[in-house]
Amino acid sequence: MRALRLTRPAPIEQSPLAVTEVAPPHPGPGEFLLRVRACAICRTDLHTVEGELRAPRLPITPGHQAVGIVEQLGEGVRDWSVGDRAGVPWLFRACGSCEFCRRGDENLCPDAEFTGLHHHGGYADYMLADARFALRLPSHVADEYLAPLLCAGIIGYRALRKAELQPGERLGLIGFGASAHLALQVARSWGCEVYVYTRGEAHRRLAARLGAMWVGGLDDRSPALVDKAVQFAPVGALVPRALEKIRPGGTLAINAVYLSPIPEFPYALIYGERTLRSVANATRRDGEEFLALAFQAPIIPSIRTYPLRDANSALLDLKRGEMEGAGVLIP
């Protein structure tokens, strides 16, 4: 089978992912083999490839938004059948016994393992999945439209929850990529006004098409302060500027697995009982809740597809801000 393998992190301009022929993996106890039909790309993949997020093992195949068909069951798997459609998200597995797992915060498990980081991911023809953490997918939605929901959608949904966004409130989105364009649709389904802060003209047009009330930059004067905000851009220097846009008592949630340093800023920006918090990974419950909402609302990704072999080019487009919505690799 083909797999895009990372042997040594390097700038994506150097095309560090290499097409490699390897034997299909064999599922262990509690796992199944998935034939990948589509895998969305994520900025986390870019952080891994470029070394900002250190992979515990090399070589590694990135990709944690994989949609496919169950091909083979490992020992002990009872709830899945060959031929089922499944999605593999970022959280590959958690220990299930630590204090975090016991209280439902498996995303914070110190022994959590992640797809495309600890385990080979979906930039391949086949991959393994932990049957307990894979997500069931409907048959009526195309593979390429399902794939971005599995991380961009789920983590965007969790970010809105962690920002404590309430129906009818005003939301600010700082940065507008794959996750933000899905979070906007969730917020609109809750009756929220959405302000989008982004520099790219294509991103601004997409935000407007999806129903943003106002679109501009952080240097522009928006019509009003927002109640809650989510920052998607992995740039710490934007945090103080984002706080300026939030009313007293509001919350800024930072949705980034990697963030450059946050500079010193005046206490006045967080005074007035504003809250600043991070968003770390997601749980199985987040995935189940978001997918139920996505198919009901509906939440529809804007996508651009690439052949699997063009993963380096796709990640380069992401880095340059030339991707509108979500990129999806098709094996």
What tens digit of pLDDT does each residue of 60-111 get? 999 999 999 999 999 999 999 999 999 999 999 999 999 999 999 999 999 9
Task: Answer yes or no: are the C-beta atoms of 147 and 174 closer than 8 Å.
Answer: no
Task: Give the residue-averaged pLDDT of 173-196.
Answer: 97
* Rounded CA separation 185/190 (Å): 9
* Separation of alpha carbons 12 and 89, rounded Å: 23
pLDDT at 146: 98
Residue 152 to residue 136: CA distance in whole angstroms: 17
pLDDT of residue 291: 97
Positive or negative torsion for Cα 291, 299, 116, 236: negative
CATH 3.40.50.970 is held by the domain 154-278: no
DSSP reduced 3-state for 23: coil
Neighbours of 118 (CB within 10 A): 15
Question: Which residues, in sequence order, are CB contacts of 240 under 8 Å at separation 6+?
Answer: 262, 263, 265, 266, 269
Residue 308 has pLDDT above 90, yes or no: yes
Domain boundaries, the chain: 2-151+282-330, 154-278
Q: Which residue has the higher pLDDT, 321 or 290?
A: 290
Q: Where are the alpha helices (DSSP H) in the chain?
A: 43-49, 99-102, 143-146, 152-162, 178-189, 201-209, 238-243, 284-296, 311-319
Strand partners, 214: 195
Q: How much is the pLDDT for 273?
A: 97
What pLDDT is stored for residue 324 in this prediction?
Answer: 87
pLDDT band at residue 189 using 50, 70 and 90 as cut-offs: very high
* % of the chain at pLDDT higher than 90: 98
pTM above 0.85, yes or no: yes
pLDDT digits (tens, 9 = 90+) for 135-175: 999 989 999 999 999 999 999 999 999 999 999 999 999 99
Tell which CATH architecture fits domain 2-151+282-330: Alpha-Beta Complex (3.90)
Q: In CATH terms, are 2-151+282-330 and 154-278 the same topology?
A: no
